[in-house]
Structure 1
Amino acid sequence: MRKSIAAAGVLATAALALTGCGAAADATAGDSGTWPEEITISLVPSTENADLAEALEPLTGYLSDELGITVNGVVADNYAATVEALGADQAQVIITDAGSLYHAINQYDAQLILRDVRFGASSYASVAFTNNPDKYCDDAPVQATYAANDVALSFCNGIEQEGADSTGSGPAGLDALKNIDEGTKVALQAATSPAGYQYPIVAMQDAGIDTDADIVQVPVEGNNNAVLAVYNGDAEVSFGFWDARSSVLGEAPDVADKVVAFAYTDMIPNGGVAVSSSLPDDLVAELTTLMDEYVDSSDEAAQVMSDLVSLTDWTAETNQDEIDRYGEILQKFAN
């Protein structure tokens, strides 16, 4: 292995001042060849930080020491900028959202190497909620535990098992969407929301519902308000991430009795890590392993993951089909 060198100073700006060096010309794309002397990672931090260089240094320093090459970090203003950086070879590694992964893969032949993990899951479903279980449930609602905050919530149509921890795994119970009849009030979030609008619209259309003419769309802002719309009777059905009911327990402590989850959509993918096709295969393999193991490398690493990108881990189980499906749905709502 190459002699380890000290981590280079991390590049960090509030804008995407991507001046990091690209992969060296002798690095053979898609092959095991000479490694570049340095690579650059572009990411969008989950929270604003007054000293982004300091926030990034533990990750880039760890990778620099283990790989024996300089790993720089650069902050992007938004997720689309990470894709642009990779396409311009100003960054060779991007940590970004699912939509940007899709575009990087399809526009620039990027390789998806890792998926983001939050509390054990690399994807999540949109949940269909109702205050009318007699209409949407084929069986009596049961309670399962939402482990993130240890609260029992109500489910029907067999999407969760009574007394167990809920899994939030879809698709499940989607036939019940056919019970949404003409004039039903359905609370929907902004058209850019995967869990609050896009995946639910597709699921309802797949169930034969004309989402423009058959339902009364009740616009709401945020997952908590989607739940409250059903809780308060402003809508008969709403959609939100799994499990959005936990966000309203303070103001609606009996939400488990009044709001029942009756269906899960297809899984919505978390983001992840993609690399440029210019990087040699053996470098990509080692980088993948190191980043996959990063959260377990130290207590500091786990804290960096949480603070920098709001993650608890990465996984090499990429499930690219979920990213591809997400891309298809993004395209549907592009205009």
Structure 2
Amino acid sequence: MAIKKMTKGLIAISLALFLTGCSSKGDTESAAADKLVVQFVPTNNDGTMEAKAKPFAEYLSKKLDREVEVTLATDYSTIVEAMASGQVDLGIMPPAAYVQAKDMDAAEAILTSQLGEYDQETGLPIEGEKTNTFKGEILVRADSGLNELTDLKGKKIATLSPNSASGYIYPVAEMKDAGVDPTTDATLTTVNDIPSEFTAVLNGQMDAAFVFEGARNVFASSFAENDLFTELKVLYLTEGDIPNDAIAVQPTMDDTLKSDIKEVFLHMADDEEGAEAMALWGHQGYEEAADTAYDTIRAYTQKAAE
């Protein structure tokens, strides 16, 4: 009888441990399934963006009531790869990267960002004005004597990734339209970020740089010993308008979660924490995405690649 009781007791304990183990495993898998992985492309690679990503993750986690992990893409192509492989649920994607992922059925834009409008004469922001497009800029030293696109023939030009709309695609395409193919008539050098482009032009290593509209204003504080508006000038603004960043999710994402994410981003400017999060990319607001707005990227990408 004692043996029977002991056997029953051991079975009961084993069953309890088994069920506890199953429950624990199930809870872990459920928590992992509920985690939202977010990725964005940093505007510079000086190491400061990692620290700023943590409060953004905490902000989203609080608003969405789920665990959020925020990661940084090393460049424009890695965020596309991360979306395509399903490693990232939500991408804050530069326009050309979004189009590439969209064409792979790996991303769906639920919102488009709004940026501050710039005065094209002064390069300074226009207070209270927002826009959902921007232009590419070609910057040169103010004392360079370079004034036209054709003056860049034979020159050294700093660019961003070939997947960057303003840092490569649009300037290259429009230079070709002007009769100068920078891929053969000039020397293009890819650098890590815009501050590195500025430095290369300022110290004479490069004659020009492809950047986004308003870049001098955005990075002025990083160049305390230089007056970027005095030392650099805009040689050219692209004629084509570039659509802003896309807030893109996995196309298979649950509709309820998509809706929740949209609501969080649409109201991000309403509180201090949200406004600080938006400042990571210079965003000033969000609006419903018009996917057709990104069609121009495809045409320019094809032209730049010819």
Tell me, yes or no, whether TM beats 0.5. Answer: yes
What displacement does 1:239 show? 3.5
1:294 to 268, 271, 286: 268
2:178 to 198, 207, 212: 207
Q: Say whether the 8 Å CA contact 2:95–2:243 is kept in structure 1.
A: yes
Where in structure 2 are the equivalents of 1:259-278 lying within 5 Å? Answer: 259-265=232-238, 266-278=240-252
Residue of structure 2 in register with 1:164 after alignment: none
Letter of the aligned partner of 1:111 in structure 2? E
Q: What is the total number of aligned residue pairs between the two structures?
A: 250
Question: Which deviations, in whole Å up to 9, do the C-alpha atoms of 1:231-272 show, x marking residues without a partner?
Answer: 77777655333234445674444x656654243113344433
Residues 223/48 of structure 1: CA separation in 2 closer, same or farther (3 Å cut): closer
Letter of the aligned partner of 2:103 in structure 1? N
Residues 230/101 of structure 1: CA separation in 2 closer, same or farther (3 Å cut): closer
SS at match of 2:104: helix
Residues 61/334 of structure 1: CA separation in 2 closer, same or farther (3 Å cut): farther
Q: Say whether the 8 Å CA contact 1:44–1:77 is kept in structure 2.
A: yes
Q: Say whether the 8 Å CA contact 1:43–1:75 is kept in structure 2.
A: yes
Residue of structure 2 in register with 1:57 after alignment: 58
Give the Cα–Cα distance (whole angstroms) in 2 for the partners of residues 19 and 81 of structure 1. Answer: 26
What displacement does 1:194 show? 4.2
What displacement does 1:316 show? 1.8
2:157 to 156, 175, 187: 187
SS at match of 2:138: strand
Larger Rg: 2
Give the Cα–Cα distance (whole angstroms) in 1 for the partners of residues 184 and 77 of structure 2. Answer: 34
Residues 72/121 of structure 1: CA separation in 2 closer, same or farther (3 Å cut): farther
Residue of structure 2 in register with 1:168 after alignment: none
Q: Say whether the 8 Å CA contact 1:125–1:195 is kept in structure 2.
A: yes
Where in structure 2 are the equivalents of 1:7-26 lying within 5 Å? Answer: 20-21=32-33
Give the Cα–Cα distance (whole angstroms) in 1 for the partners of residues 91 and 165 of structure 2. Answer: 22
Residue of structure 2 in register with 1:141 after alignment: none
Give the Cα–Cα distance (whole angstroms) in 2 for the partners of residues 256 and 301 of structure 1. Answer: 30
Give the Cα–Cα distance (whole angstroms) in 2 for the partners of residues 84 and 124 of structure 1. Answer: 25
Q: Say whether the 8 Å CA contact 2:114–2:287 is kept in structure 1.
A: no
1:48 to 47, 50, 64: 50
Give the Cα–Cα distance (whole angstroms) in 1 for the partners of residues 41 and 194 of structure 2. Answer: 22
Letter of the aligned partner of 2:269 in structure 1? V
Question: Which deviations, in whole Å up to 9, do the C-alpha atoms of 1:112-140 show, x marking residues without a partner?
Answer: 1112344445443221345589974xxxx
What displacement does 1:204 show? 0.5
What displacement does 1:283 show? 5.8
Q: CA RMSD in A?
A: 4.5
Give the Cα–Cα distance (whole angstroms) in 2 for the partners of residues 299 and 129 of structure 1. Answer: 34
228-237 or 239-248, larger mean C-alpha shift = 228-237
Residue of structure 1 in register with 2:70 after alignment: 75
SS at match of 2:248: strand
> Which residues of structure 1 form unaligned runs of 5+?
1-17, 22-37, 65-70, 137-175
Q: Say whether the 8 Å CA contact 1:76–1:82 is kept in structure 2.
A: no
Residue of structure 2 in register with 1:303 after alignment: 276
SS at match of 2:241: strand
Residue of structure 2 in register with 1:124 after alignment: 134
Residues 19/328 of structure 1: CA separation in 2 closer, same or farther (3 Å cut): farther
103-112 or 202-211, larger mean C-alpha shift = 103-112
SS at match of 2:267: helix
Residue of structure 1 in register with 2:104 after alignment: 107
Residues 210/98 of structure 1: CA separation in 2 closer, same or farther (3 Å cut): closer
How does the TM-score come out when normalised to structure 1? 0.55
Give the Cα–Cα distance (whole angstroms) in 1 for the partners of residues 181 and 82 of structure 2. Answer: 40
Give the Cα–Cα distance (whole angstroms) in 2 for the partners of residues 256 and 123 of structure 1. Answer: 22
Give the Cα–Cα distance (whole angstroms) in 2 for the partners of residues 51 and 95 of structure 1. Answer: 12
What displacement does 1:109 show? 5.8
Question: Which deviations, in whole Å up to 9, do the C-alpha atoms of 1:258-291 show, x marking residues without a partner?
Answer: 6542431133444332233334657644542342
Q: Say whether the 8 Å CA contact 1:295–1:312 is kept in structure 2.
A: no
Q: Say whether the 8 Å CA contact 2:160–2:194 is kept in structure 1.
A: no
What displacement does 1:59 show? 1.7
